[in-house]
Structure 1
Amino acid sequence: MKRIAIIMVDDDEIARVLFEDAVEEAREYVKDISFSVDGVDLLERLRRQGEYASMEEEALPDLVVLDLSMPRMDGYQLLEELGKDKAFENIPIVVMSTTSDEQEVKRCYSLGAAGFIVKPASMEERLKAVKSLASYWSNIMAVPRRVSY
């Protein structure tokens, strides 16, 4: 079984902690979890710019989990930016948001999202969602091999 590396992009610290707690229940599928606080932060990380310029080379993530409502660069803008950059075109991006508005969901898919999950309200449902997400992307989906960045 392949274990995946996930980057979650969310400015809400509580959401990040809850996601990390849920990932602990899915460790059989996840080898690494890291976080970015908004779209600008993720782009700088992937492109090795700003505070990430001196980071050692590492593989691109196998999956990005993205919130929509963030400062500086929101999820929609990040989807657009990542879609323009050939270096990141094969990274699946799953939106995890509190909205269930059909137009918002359609917009995310039109911008290249590989999936959309409405954030579950209960911790039990969140655990199930994260475990299902990790299992799906580690065992079922075939994605191109990642190169270093």
Structure 2
Amino acid sequence: MNRIGIETTQYHVLAVDDSIIDRKLIERLLKTSSYQVTVMESGVKALEYLGLLDDHDENINANSNFKYSTTGNHNEIEVNLIITDYSMPGITGYDLLRKIKESRVLKDIPVVMMSSENVPSRINSCLEQGAEEFFLKPVQQSDVNKLKPHLMRGKLGKENVINKR
């Protein structure tokens, strides 16, 4: 709550892209819209951050110092939306999407995919796997403006899960 008693919500977005240029662009656009942003340069790092890395995934990145499982405690991480590039080395954005949607704890977090390639079959596959949106790069402010309804729905979904406990 702020000083006059009105609740203000700052949404936390996890942005994943292997391109530093695209990461900086999406981070700037999200921060301009007053979102808290955490950026990751790979699907492996995002899985580590979310606590979804398993032994198979860890083998993809031998430099990893972290080891989590889907049974770990995710409550300290409050992520309201994930936006990820489709094409990344190692764990792709599509793999990341699937792992999030398979997670009992994180499946309600909205996921938005982005790609510089306009491939209809790829877009359809992502939407069928549970992605909320598919943006073509470069991401624009008008794209970021489409995130708010997904963020609000994700927040409400999480509160409903907490209230049912």
Bin of the TM-score, shorter chain as denominator length:
0.7 to 0.9
Are the counterparts in 2 of residues 82 and 88 from structure 1 also a CA contact under 8 Å?
Answer: yes
1:34 aligns to 2:38 (yes or no): yes
Select the structure with the greater relative contact order (CA < 8 A; seq sep ≥ 6).
1
- Alignment partner for residue 43 of structure 1, among 32, 44, 47? 47
Q: CA deviation at 1:139?
A: 5.1
1:126 aligns to 2:153 (yes or no): no
Any idea what the Cα deviations from partners look like across 1:9-51, whole Å, max 9, x if unmatched?
Answer: 1011111111122123211xx1x10011122111111118654
Please list, as runs of the form range in 1=range in 2, the aligned pairs for 1:1-149 lying within 5 A after superposition: 2-27=9-34, 30=35, 32-47=36-51, 51=65, 58-120=76-138, 126-130=140-144, 132-138=145-151, 143-145=156-158
Larger of the two Rg values belongs to structure: 2
Q: How many residues align?
A: 137
Please report the RMSD computed on the Cα atoms of aligned residues, expressed in angstroms: 2.6
Q: CA deviation at 1:57?
A: 6.3
Distance (Å, rounded) in 2 between the aligned partners of 1:13 and 1:35: 10
Q: CA deviation at 1:138?
A: 4.2
Residues 48/76 of structure 1: CA separation in 2 closer, same or farther (3 Å cut): closer
Gaps of 5+ in 2: 1-7, 54-63, 68-73
Divergent runs of 4+, >6 A = none
TM-score when scaled to structure 2?
A: 0.71
TM-score when scaled to structure 1?
A: 0.77
Gaps of 5+ in 1: none
